[in-house]
Structure 1
Amino acid sequence: MSEENKHSGGQLNLLVATEQVDAVCEWVRGALVKEPVEVTRPLAEESLLEIYFDSLLEAEIALKALPETLPVQTAEAKEYLEQDWTTFWHHHFKTMELGQNLRIVPEWEEAPVDGKTNIIINPGLSFGTGGHFTTKFCLEALEDAFRTLDIQTMIDAGTGSGILSIAARKLGIPDIVAFDYDPVCVEQCNENAARNGVGGKIHFFQADVLEPGWHTQPADLVCANILTSVLLEAAPLIKRAAKKRILLSGIREIEADAVADTFIQLGCKEVSRDGDGQWCGIVIDV
């Protein structure tokens, strides 16, 4: 793929009943080794999952590979162009004020200079702009943890665009490692870090949160903005990786008790939780 078309390729769209999203996402990750992007309106009964490939042919092959038993209502493979993606983000991603001192700014907008911490993001094909409740929750909980605890080290599991790690570094946390299952995210994270003047100051790498070995030593703070099914399975590894606090999100509100109970059974304590009627985040102390 040429440099000028590096964000062009194939797209597989899956329309799924909202209660079936987790099951379909798990299949996509296991069978296609891709991270789906969920596009859902609040309280909607249906969700659109978008999976991106390097070429239309790959998307068409993935479409044919969908098992008949997968709970998908409709499926479509299509080509997307770089300008389609750019137009999407320019329309949906705007400057946002978060917490007490954070501001998320799209790369194509001018960042105000007023003493607040500006985080410059171009999401590319990665997840994480601060617009989704789960990312917003983690950013505000991260700022609170930095303000109230002595946080020197952090692990960002499922980093997406790198937005949490970049915010943490700009707040003043000196030692941060961040990983994602998708190598495209890791590339985008390094680019976003460079945009924010923290290039080379965060260690981004590819790893699977379900596989041991993504941390060599515990960190003061662990952020895990991952779907519930993965959080439940990875809970023992996440707990062992944290010394002080864990920020959990990517959780549907109806699943929050199950996630909290899992970590409580591992010896943790729930500090707080918040939700928007559909998604939820939980603050856990170790």
Structure 2
Amino acid sequence: MKNPYEQLVIYNLDGVPALDHRVEKDERYLGTWVEEDTSFLFFSSPVPSLVEQVRRENSHISLVETYEMTCEQWHGDKIEPYFVEDFCIAPPWDRLNEETKSAAREILLDPGVVFGTGCHQTTEDCLTLIHWLCTRETIGTVLDIGTGTGLLALGAAALGCARVLACDFNLLAVKTTLKNIRLNRFEAQILAFQAKGEEVICLPCDLLVANIHYDIMQHLVEHPAFLEKKYFILSGLLNSETTKIMASLATKRVHVIERRCPDGIWNTLLGKRI
């Protein structure tokens, strides 16, 4: 299998277009990333006439800029197998050989065009702490807020968690997670859906995982339902932001088991309700 994202052509639009089946069924179309009133259409080769058609059919939008780059330039890293604990995270077009596979838990991860390959420090630290916790405690249910490509949800399922809820507000991220759930045959364990963190924090779970921006995190830890979670992993926090979250947690009946910050920049917290 060949890497389908070897070359990317990205059309930056001022506005969010409605796409008909001619675009979505086009074999060159890879997905649409939406950021408030801006959208990015991804294709595997230039499609100027198709994008012009989209613009004509959506009179409220305009083409801002067109970018051409490799998938490595977009993701900021190579898409290749890597190890975290006894996990090997591999793209479906570059899988483990049988000898290596027998010694590792293989997770197939197709990042699509969702930014990042899963190698970010916060993602690795979350996966490390999920592994540490799930190999020591019985964690039946997990809520993964801001799931992205679904890697943390996949890791929890691979460790035996029976029910994992993976949500993200970005629809393309949810679609990418759904693809990865199917790749790993975790349909019976993981449910992926579109939602905001504050809309799902009330859902019961043994473990809450949130690798998200501080501006959302600060509200989640103040929600009454936060204290209903037995364990939590909070990540995506810079040092100053972590200080504020730690101050908030200090007023609650929780215990921070570990604070990880191996690069001196990004922080991840593992905690427990007491």
Q: TM-score over 0.5 for the alignment?
A: yes
Q: Which residue of 1 aligns with 2:178?
A: 190
Matched, 1:105 2:90: yes
TM-fit CA distance, 1:5: 2.5
Distance 1:128 1:90 in 2: 7
Q: Which secondary structure does the structure 2 equivalent of 1:78 belong to?
A: strand
Distance 1:62 1:268, change over 3 A: farther
Within 5 Å, which residues of 2 pair with 1:1-286? 1=23, 2-7=25-30, 31-32=36-37, 52-53=40-41, 77-80=64-67, 84-85=70-71, 88=74, 92-99=78-85, 101-111=86-96, 112-127=100-115, 129-211=117-199, 214=200, 217-237=203-223, 240=226, 242-275=228-261, 276-286=263-273
Distance 1:170 1:183 in 2: 24
Distance 2:26 2:72 in 1: 15
Distance 1:238 1:160, change over 3 A: farther
Distance 1:277 1:238, change over 3 A: farther
Q: Which residue of 2 aligns with 1:47?
A: none
Give the residue type in structure 2 aligned to 1:221. L
Q: Where in structure 1 are there 5+ consecutive unaligned residues?
A: 12-27, 35-50, 64-76
Q: Which residue of 2 aligns with 1:44?
A: none
Distance 1:227 1:89, change over 3 A: closer
Larger radius of gyration: 2
Paired-residue identity, %: 24
Distance 1:157 1:241, change over 3 A: farther
TM-fit CA distance, 1:192: 0.6
Query: CA contact under 8 A between 2:220 and 2:226: conserved in structure 1?
Result: no
TM-fit CA distance, 1:86: 7.3
Q: Which secondary structure does the structure 2 equivalent of 1:4 belong to?
A: coil
TM-score using structure 2 length = 0.74
Query: CA contact under 8 A between 2:145 and 2:166: conserved in structure 1?
Result: yes
TM-align CA RMSD: 3.0
Q: Where in structure 2 are there 5+ consecutive unaligned residues?
A: 1-22, 43-50
Range 273-282 or range 123-132, more displaced: 123-132
Distance 2:73 2:115 in 1: 16
Query: CA contact under 8 A between 1:239 and 1:263: conserved in structure 2?
Result: no
Kindly provide the CA deviation profile for residues 211-243 of structure 1, in whole angstroms up to 9, marking residues without a partner as x: 3xx256421101000011210022234853753
Q: Which secondary structure does the structure 1 equivalent of 2:221 belong to?
A: helix
For these two proteins, the number of residue pairs brought into alignment is 233
Distance 1:128 1:260, change over 3 A: farther
Q: Which residue of 2 aligns with 1:17?
A: none
Give the residue type in structure 2 aligned to 1:141. L
Give the residue type in structure 2 aligned to 1:249. S
TM-fit CA distance, 1:122: 0.9
Q: Which residue of 1 aligns with 2:8?
A: none
